[in-house]
Amino acid sequence: MSFPNLFLPSRTGLALFGGDRACLAVATWAAARAFLGRTGATRERASHLIAVDAGNAFDPYIISDVARAAGEAPEQWLARVRIARAFTLHQLDVLVAERLPALCGDGNPVLLLSLLDLFGDEAVPTVEARRILRRILWTLQDLVKRRCPVLVACPDPGRPTSWEGSLLPPLRRLASWILHVQAAGDGSYVVTRERPTPATWRWTRLSHPAMGEAPDAPV
Any idea what the CATH number is for the domain that residue 140 is in? Answer: 3.40.50.300
Q: Does 5 reside within a domain?
A: no
Q: Does 202 reside within a domain?
A: no
Confidence (pTM):
0.84
The more confidently predicted of residues 164 and 201 is: 201
Nearest to 209 by CA among 67, 57, 25: 25
Q: Does 207 reside within a domain?
A: no
Chain centroid offset of residue 170 CA: 16
The more confidently predicted of residues 96 and 164 is: 96
The pLDDT score that the predictor gives to residue 188 is: 79
The pLDDT score that the predictor gives to residue 120 is: 77
The pLDDT score that the predictor gives to residue 207 is: 39
Q: Does 7 reside within a domain?
A: no
The pLDDT score that the predictor gives to residue 218 is: 37
Q: Does 109 reside within a domain?
A: yes
Q: Does 197 reside within a domain?
A: no
134-188 pLDDT tens trace: 899 999 999 988 888 999 999 987 666 666 667 788 888 889 899 999 988 777 7
Nearest to 7 by CA among 140, 146, 193: 193
Q: Does 97 reside within a domain?
A: yes
Number of domains in the chain: 1
Q: Does 169 reside within a domain?
A: yes
